[in-house]
Chain A
C-alpha cells in the first residue's frame, strides 16, 4: 500500500516532537491516505461488485465482498487511514450493512474537501458545511422513506435480498433472505418490539453440502458429537435435558490431596469405591428421569471419564460433553431450564424438555440437534452449510449482514429505495438547497452534493455500464420528479427501483451519511500528527 508510506514516521530520540511538516501537508497526506483506503474497497460496491482475496500473514486466505471485513484485515498503519477502517466498523455496529458504501462515500467527500481546501477555504468552514449537509441529507432521506409494517414479511424479505445480492452467495438470496427474516422475527420479544439482540440468533457453520442446505432450526444445534465411546444412545425422544456444571468423575479436592495405598487389597477397594461413587451419581441423575446430559467443559479435572460414560450409556442417557461456559446462557435460555452446579441440586424442576434429541451426520462431521423444545425461549439457530471453508465463511458474513438489515428494520420501521436512488435524490435536493444559501456554506454544500453521486457512479461502473450516461440520465429522471428511479444493474438501465424490489432499511442510508460526514470532519480538523510515547 503506497498510502501507508505516504507519511514517514519521523521519530528520533532527541526530537521532542515533529513540527517540520507544514500543516497543509499533514492534512493533505491524511486525506490522500484515507482516500487510498476508500479506493481499495470501491470496486466491491454493488451487486456486480468484485470480491477481494486477502492473504493474511499466517497464510490464511479469505475471499469476501464485505467492506468491514476487507478493511479489518488490511492492517493499515497510517492514522487517518485507520480512521476509515474504524468508520466501516462503526457502520457495521450501527447498521450491519452498507460498510462499503460508507467508506466510498467518505472517500468521495474527502476528495471534494481537498479541492475546496486547495481553493483556500478554511477547514472549519468545510467541516461546518459538511455538518449542515449531513443533517439536511437525513431529512431528505426521511422524506423518501416508506413506512413498513413488521407483518409485511415480503418487504422484509426484499430488503434482506438486496443486501445479499452483492455477496458471493447472491444466487441463494431467495433462500437466505426469508431465512434471515424468520430468524430475526422469531427472537423479537413482543414486550419490547423495538429491540433485537442478535446474540439470540446462533449461527453454526458446518462444512459440506452447498449453501442450499442451509436451514433454520427451531431448537438447538451443537457442532459436536454425542459421546458414544461406550455405546450410549444417539437418539432420544421425549428428552428430559439437564445442563450440568459439575463433573462426573472421581472426586478431586481443591486442596492438594494424595491417597496412600499400602497394599494390594486397598487398591481393589479404591477401585471399587471409585465405581460406587460414580454409580451413585449416575443413579441420582437417572432418578430424576433425565435422559440427556449436556456437560460443561472443565479445566480443573475431567468432566467425564470412560467409566462414567459407560455407566451413563448403561442407563440410556445421551451425553454431549465439552459445552463451553459462555454457551451455557444461550442453551439455558433456549431450553428454558436452569444449569445445575452440584449433584445435590439435581432436581426435576431444573430440567428442560424436548420432543427429540438426535445425532445427525452432516457432511463429514456430526451434529446434535435438539428439536421440539417445550416452552422454548426466544432464540433460534441457523445451520449454515457450504462446499468449502471460504464459501462457508462468506456465507456466514453475508447472513450476518442480512440479519442486521432485518434488525435495522425492526428498530426503525422504514424502507428506502436502493440502487443509488437515495444518493442521487440527496444530491439533487441538496444542490437545490445550496442555491438558497449564501457564502461559504453554499459553495461547499454544492460541491459536496455532487460528491454524493459517487455511489450511483460506482454502481454503474462496477456493473460495466457507461457510468456517465447512466448518472446523467438518473439525474434527469430525478429532476423530473421520479424520486425512486435508480440503476437496475441486472437490466443495465434506469428503472423505478421500487418495482424491482430493491429496497434497503432507512437506517443503513442515514447512518452511512452521518457517519461518513462525521469521519471526514474529524480528518479535516487534524493539522498535525504528533508521535507520542
Chain B
C-alpha cells in the first residue's frame, strides 16, 4: 500500500500525465488486489480471521464462557447439570467452575484460554475457579468497550497491568496474618473453610465440614500433600453422618478364615502374582510320559507357591496386602499361619497404604531384611452403612487420615467430594501462606477503590483502561448480589459509599440481603486465592487482547475406513 501511495503522490506533480496511463494504473491496482485475494496461503479447510473480526471472535467466546459459569458464583449460586453425550448419559450435578469448564466442548480458542486458567487455578490453589473466569470475562467486556472507542489494545494492556499491580498492593496492605496466635489462626481457617463451602452443596452443614477439613489439614502439619487425606464415599445416611477418621480405611475384604482383628500389625504391602510363577517363555511346555509325572509337576508348582508364601510369612508379618488376586491355595496357607491377607487392593489403595504405614511395596521376597515393613497399631473390620471395610488405625504416618463421606445419592457424594477437595486445597495453601482477607466482595471493593484513585492520578489514555479495570472488579460483588436475587445496583452503590471511608469491613451479606460487616459475619478468604484470581485473570485478558489474527488449521484428514 505504501508504495502505491508514493506513486500516487508522485503522480500528482505530473499533472500533464494523460488519462490513459492513469486508467491502466488503476486497473493494475485492482489486479494486484485480486491476486492477493486469490493467492491461497493456507490449506483448503483452514480459515483465517483478522483484526477486528478476530478480536471480536475471542471476546465473544471468552465472555460466553464467563457468562455460562457466572450463575454459579457466590453462596446463592446455582448448579448445573452436566449431561454426558457418551455412553450411559451420565449425569453430574455441580457448582464447581473448574469441573464445568473442564468438561465442555470448546471450539473457540479464547474460551480455551479461560478454561485453562480455571484449571490452573484449581491445581494451584483449589478454589476461586469460577471467580477467575468471571473476572477475566468482565475485564474483556470492559476492554471491548475501550477497543470500540478506538483505544489501542496495547494501551489497554498497559493500563490493566498498572491497575493489577495497584490492586495487588492494596490487598497486600489489607491482608491480616494470624499465624503467631494458634487459636486465632484456627478460627481463621474455620472461617475460610466455611466461606469456601458456603457456595457448595455442603452449605447446610458447613460448620461440620469446615471442622472436618480444618482438622484434616492441621494434621498434615504444613505439608500440602493432600494424598495422605483419603476421601471415601459411601452412599446412604445423610451428609451430616460424614466423619473424620484417623488412620486408613481400605475398601476390601479380609480373606476367609483369617483373623478379623490384629493388634500391632506388621504389614507387608506387595504387588506380586499369587497364582503360580509361570515360565514366561513362549511355547515352553512340559513333556512327560506318565500321569504320575504330571501330578509331580503339579505338586512342584504347589510347592513353589508354598515356598513363596513361606518367604512372605518369614518377613515376620501378620498382615499381607497384595495388589493382585490371592488364589484359594495361598489364601488358605495364610489363614493357617494366622496372617491376614487382603487381595486385589487397587493401585491407589496400596500406594497410599504403603505411604501411611511407612512400608515399601515389595515384589520379591528373597531378602526379608531389605524390605521395609509397614506398621500400625490395630487392624479391624468396621461397618459403614451396609459395607464392611478394613480399618488401619494408629499408623506410622501420623498426619494420615480418612474422611468418610455419606450422602443420599452418588450425585450428592460426588459433589460433596469436589467441594471438600476445594476446601482442603485452600486450607492447605493457607497453612503455608497464612494471610487472610475478608470475603463477600470486600476485597474487590477495596481493590476497586484503590484502582480508581490510581486512574485519577494517571495522565493519558491509560487512565481509561485503569478505570475500566476498577469497573470489572466491581462486577464480582454485583454478580454475587444478582445470583442471590438482590437489587445489585442499589447494593453496590451502598457498598461503594461504605468503602469510601478509610477502614471498613463492609461486604455483601447474602443471607440478610444487605450490606454487612464481614468481620462479624466471619466471612474470610485466603489471600493466596484472591491474588491468584487477580493475577491470572489479568494475564489471560492480556493474552486474549494481544490477539489480532486467528488461524484455524485444517483438520487432519482421516483415512476413509469404509
Residues on A lying within 8 angstroms of B by beta carbon are 9, 11, 14-17, 19, 23, 30, 77, 79-80, 82-83, 86-87, 89-90, 93-94, 122-125, 131, 195, 197-198, 245-246, 250-262, 266, 269-270, 273-274, 277, 296, 328-329, 332, 338-342, 344-345, 514-515, 518-519, 522, 525-533
Contacts and interface: CB of A to CB of B under 8 A. Distances in A.
Contacts, number: 217
A533 B332 contact: no
B235 interface: yes
A83 B80 contact: no
Contacts of A30: 81
B42 interface: no
B256 A124 contact: no
Contacts of B276: 254
29 contacts: A14-B107, A16-B105, A19-B68, A23-B71, A86-B409, A89-B409, A124-B485, A125-B485, A197-B383, A198-B386, A246-B329, A250-B291, A257-B286, A257-B288, A257-B297, A260-B288, A262-B289, A270-B290, A328-B256, A329-B256, A339-B256, A342-B329, A515-B238, A528-B80, A528-B81, A530-B81, A530-B82, A532-B82, A532-B104
Interface stretch (B83-91, B165-173, B454-462, B542-550): B83-91
B373 interface: no
Interface string B325-343: 0011101110110000000
Mostly, the B contact residues are: mixed
The listed residue with most B CB atoms (<10 A of its CB), out of A90, A246, A254, A532, is A532
Interface stretch (B147-155, B277-285, B498-506): B277-285
Contacts of B79: 522, 525-527
Given A94-B237, A528-B80, 16 more contacts: A16-B64, A16-B105, A79-B83, A82-B91, A83-B91, A89-B409, A246-B328, A255-B297, A262-B289, A273-B290, A328-B256, A338-B257, A341-B332, A342-B332, A528-B71, A533-B85
A27 B305 CA distance: 61
Interface in B370-400: 383, 385-386, 388
Give the size category of B's interface with A.
35 or more
Interface of B: 61, 64-65, 67-68, 71, 76, 78-86, 89, 91, 93, 95, 100, 103-108, 111, 201, 204, 235-238, 256-257, 275-276, 278-279, 284-292, 294-295, 297-298, 301-302, 327-329, 331-333, 335-336, 383, 385-386, 388, 408-412, 484-485
A3 B71 CA distance: 26
B328 A245 contact: yes
A262 B289 CA distance: 9
Given A260-B289, A525-B78, A518 B238 contact: yes
Contact of A122 (B76, B93, B411): B76
Interface centre among B85, B237, B289 (most CB of A within 10 A): B289
B278 A255 contact: yes
A328 B328 CA distance: 11
Contact of B328 (A94, A260, A270, A341): A341
Contact of B105 (A94, A329, A531): A531
Contacts of A338: 256-257, 332, 335
B102 to A, nearest CB: 9
Contacts of B302: 342, 344
B288 A259 contact: yes
B292 A277 contact: yes
Contact of A93 (B80, B93, B386): B386
A270 B291 contact: yes
B335 to A, nearest CB: 7
B284 A124 contact: no
B287 A260 contact: yes
B93 A522 contact: yes
Nearest to A258: B287
Nearest to A88: B409
A89 B408 CA distance: 9
